[in-house]
Amino acid sequence: MEWINSVWQHIDAAFIRENRWQLYLKGLGVTMQVAVAAAVLGIVIGTIVAFMKISVKKNGKPTILSRIANIYIDIIRGTPSVLQLLIMWFIVLKSCQNGVLVASITFGINSGAYVAEIVRAGILAVDKGQTEAGRSLGLTQVQTMRYIVLPQAFKNILPPLGNEFIVLIKETAIVGYVSLKDLTRVSHQMTSALYDQFTPLIGAAVIYFVVIKILTILLAKLERRLRKSDNR
């Protein structure tokens, strides 16, 4: 029974006493705020970059836009996100003191490179016959993409986008580098204040796990609905 009392005392000190659970809740709020903003920005950037990458000349050669898209994707995917965050904070957006904004922009740009590949793969997964059918009906290339290709590609794109959002939530654990009190930083501060390395960190890990698990379940349900609609 003594070890149970000891465990409870650590939990009480880390989460309950002085309403410290509110600190974790606020930290989770910062984490989700950055993740959601970055996801929206990443989808916008990624969609634009995806269309840039699949653009080709009439002879099939890559365009300037596709080359720029490839360079962007290579640089973002080839460098650590923590370095991108530090470069944005100390160099590019040095005059901006809004850590949430800087982190959201950084992770949005980072996510855009991965979303671009998701969107590109989703579009290319649609049978070319669909595009040919649309053009034979007199639709322009833009109209064919809008009314025929994209609606079909959406089902291929949506599940990977959900996974990308889950990855974003976990990647934002480094925003403490720009002085943001997210969930990870709050747990780290509690370890220093309470001289307890175990309880706050494990507690934060549990919170992350629960959030990710809920999102994973919702994403799985969405995928099942999409598969059912395909079978009709």
Q: What is the pLDDT of residues 73-120, one digit of tens each?
A: 999 999 999 999 999 999 999 888 899 999 999 999 999 999 999 999
Residues in contact with 232: Cβ distance below 8 Å, sequence separation at least 6, in sequence order: none
Measured in whole angstroms, how far is the alpha carbon of residue 202 from the centre of its chain?
23
> Quick one: pLDDT at residue 231?
58
Distance from C-alpha of 49 to C-alpha of 196, rounded to nearest angstrom: 46
Distance from C-alpha of 95 to C-alpha of 198, rounded to nearest angstrom: 37
> Quick one: pLDDT at residue 229?
65
Q: What is the pTM of this model?
A: 0.89
Cα–Cα distance list, 103 to 93, 122, 186, 194 (Å): 10, 28, 17, 28
Rounded to the nearest 5 degrees, what angle is found at the Cα of 208, between the Cα atoms of 202 and 210? 100
Judged by average pLDDT, the poorest of 6-20, 133-147, 214-228 is 133-147
> Quick one: pLDDT at residue 66?
92
- pLDDT over threshold 90, residue 18: no
- As a CATH number, domain 15-231 is 1.10.3720.10
Whole-number mean pLDDT of the chain? 88
Distance from C-alpha of 152 to C-alpha of 150, rounded to nearest angstrom: 5
- pLDDT over threshold 60, residue 232: no
Sketch the domain layout of the chain as residue ranges.
Answer: 15-231
